[in-house]
Amino acid sequence: MTFKELGLIEPILKALAEQGYEKPSPIQEKAIPPALAGRDVLGCAQTGTGKTCAFATPILQELSARKSQGRPIRTLILTPTRELALQIQESFEAYGRHLPLRSAVIFGGVGQAPQVDKLKRGVDILVATPGRLMDLQGQGFIDLSKLEIFVLDEADRMLDMGFIHDVRRILKLLPSRKQTLFFSATMPPEVMELVNTLLKNPVKVAVDPVSSPVEVIDQTAYLVDKGNKTKLLAALIREMKVRNALVFTRTKHGANKVAADLEKAGITAAAIHGNKSQTARQQALADFKAGKVKCLVATDIAARGLDIEELSHVFNYNLPEVPETYVHRIGRTGRAGREGTAVSFCDFGEKQYLKDIEKLIGKKVPLVEDHPWPMEVFEVAVKDSKGRMVNADDAEARAAAKERRRARDAANKAAAEARKTGENAADAARQEAPAPKKRKPQEKKAAAPAAPSLPEQPKKTKRGVRQQRLEDTMPAAPAQASGDFRRRDPLAGDVIMDSTARLLAPRPRTASTPAAAPQRQPGAQQSRKKKAPQAAPQPKESSQAQKKAAPASAQKSPKSGEKRHDRSRGRGRRGGPPEVVLRTGNQKDSTEQPSLMKPYYISYDD
CB-based contact 144:137 (threshold 8 Å): yes
For the stretch 355-383, pLDDT in tens is 999 988 888 999 988 899 988 887 765 66
**Mean pLDDT, residues 485-497 taken together:** 50
Q: Is residue 258 domain-shared with residue 379, that is, in the same domain?
A: yes
Pairing of strands 41-45, 125-128: unpaired
What DSSP letter does each residue of 458-480 carry, written as one string?
A: PPP-TT-HHHHHHHHT---PPP-
CB-based contact 102:124 (threshold 8 Å): yes
- Which region among 198-202, 213-217, 323-327, 547-551 has the lowest average model confidence (pLDDT)? 547-551
Q: Is residue 388 domain-shared with residue 308, that is, in the same domain?
A: yes
| Phi/psi at 530 (5° precision) | -70, -30
108 pLDDT band, cuts 50/70/90, is: confident
Q: Is residue 194 domain-shared with residue 302, that is, in the same domain?
A: no
Domain boundary, last residue among 173, 207, 241: 207
Q: Is residue 189 domain-shared with residue 258, that is, in the same domain?
A: no
- Taking residue 131's Cβ as centre, other Cβ atoms within 10 Å add up to 15
Q: Is residue 202 domain-shared with residue 235, that is, in the same domain?
A: no
Q: What is the DSSP letter of 512?
A: S
Cα–Cα distance, 499 to 493 (Å, whole number): 16
CB-based contact 276:110 (threshold 8 Å): no
Residue 482 above 60 pLDDT?
Answer: no
Cα–Cα distance, 494 to 125 (Å, whole number): 89
Q: What is the DSSP letter of 560?
A: G
Specify which of 97-111, 278-292, 365-379 reaches the highest per-range mean pLDDT. 97-111
**Mean pLDDT, residues 165-176 taken together:** 90
Q: Is residue 221 part of a domain?
A: yes
Residue 471 above 70 pLDDT?
Answer: no
- Which region among 3-7, 139-143, 286-290, 509-513 has the lowest average model confidence (pLDDT)? 509-513
Count up the domains in the chain and report the number: 3
Q: Is residue 430 part of a domain?
A: no
CB-based contact 77:63 (threshold 8 Å): no
For the stretch 32-75, pLDDT in tens is 999 999 999 998 877 667 889 999 999 999 999 988 888 899 99
Q: Is residue 201 domain-shared with residue 257, that is, in the same domain?
A: no
Residue 544 above 60 pLDDT?
Answer: no
3-state secondary structure of 66: coil
The domain of 29 spans: 4-207
For the stretch 545-592, pLDDT in tens is 444 444 444 444 444 444 444 444 444 445 555 555 555 555 545 454
Domain boundary, last residue among 163, 183, 207: 207
- Which domain CATH number covers 160? 3.40.50.300
- Which region among 35-39, 268-272, 501-505 has the lowest average model confidence (pLDDT)? 501-505
| Length of the chain counted residue by residue | 606
Residue 439 is which amino acid? R
Specify which of 272-276, 349-353, 401-405, 560-564 reaches the highest per-range mean pLDDT. 349-353
252 pLDDT band, cuts 50/70/90, is: confident
Q: Is residue 239 domain-shared with residue 195, that is, in the same domain?
A: no
Starting from the edge strand earliest in sequence, which strands make up the sheet with 313-316, in order?
A: 269-272, 295-298, 245-248, 313-316, 340-346, 217-223, 367-368
Q: Is residue 165 part of a domain?
A: yes
Q: Is residue 198 domain-shared with residue 231, that is, in the same domain?
A: no
Cα–Cα distance, 563 to 561 (Å, whole number): 7
Q: Determine the pLDDT at residue 58.
A: 95
Cβ neighbors of 97 (< 8 A, separation 6 or more) are 15, 18
Q: Determine the pLDDT at residue 360.
A: 82
Q: Is residue 197 domain-shared with residue 269, that is, in the same domain?
A: no
Q: Is residue 355 part of a domain?
A: yes
Domain boundary, last residue among 377, 395, 413: 395
| Phi/psi at 433 (5° precision) | -65, 140
Instruction: Tell the burial category of 66 from Cβ atoms under 10 Å away from its Cβ (0-12, 13-18, 19+).
Output: exposed
Q: Determine the pLDDT at residue 577.
A: 54
Q: Which residues pair with 315 in a beta bridge?
A: 247, 343
164 pLDDT band, cuts 50/70/90, is: confident
Look over the chain and give the mean of its residue pLDDT values, rounded to a whole number: 75
Q: Determine the pLDDT at residue 554.
A: 42
Residue 511 above 60 pLDDT?
Answer: no
Percent of the chain with pLDDT over 70: 63
Q: Is residue 422 part of a domain?
A: no
Q: Is residue 428 part of a domain?
A: no
Specify which of 228-237, 323-332, 448-457 reaches the highest per-range mean pLDDT. 228-237
Q: Determine the pLDDT at residue 381.
A: 59
Q: Is residue 259 domain-shared with residue 333, that is, in the same domain?
A: yes
Q: What is the DSSP letter of 371?
A: S
118 pLDDT band, cuts 50/70/90, is: very high
Helix (H) or strand (E) holding 232: helix 229-239
- Which region among 14-18, 176-180, 307-311 has the lowest average model confidence (pLDDT)? 307-311
- Which region among 233-247, 260-274, 333-347 has the lowest average model confidence (pLDDT)? 333-347
Residue 396 above 50 pLDDT?
Answer: yes
**Higher per-residue confidence, 452 vs 298:** 298
**Mean pLDDT, residues 18-26 taken together:** 88
- Cα 53 to Cα 47, 50, 149, 265: the distances in Å are 13, 6, 15, 40
Cα–Cα distance, 126 to 99 (Å, whole number): 16
Q: Is residue 438 part of a domain?
A: no
Percent of the chain with pLDDT over 90: 31
Q: Is residue 329 domain-shared with residue 202, that is, in the same domain?
A: no
Q: Determine the pLDDT at residue 599.
A: 52
Q: Which residues pair with 342 in a beta bridge?
A: 219, 314
Q: Is residue 48 part of a domain?
A: yes
**Mean pLDDT, residues 229-255 taken together:** 91
Q: Is residue 606 domain-shared with residue 467, that is, in the same domain?
A: yes
224 pLDDT band, cuts 50/70/90, is: very high
**Mean pLDDT, residues 457-476 taken together:** 51
Pairing of strands 313-316, 340-346: parallel
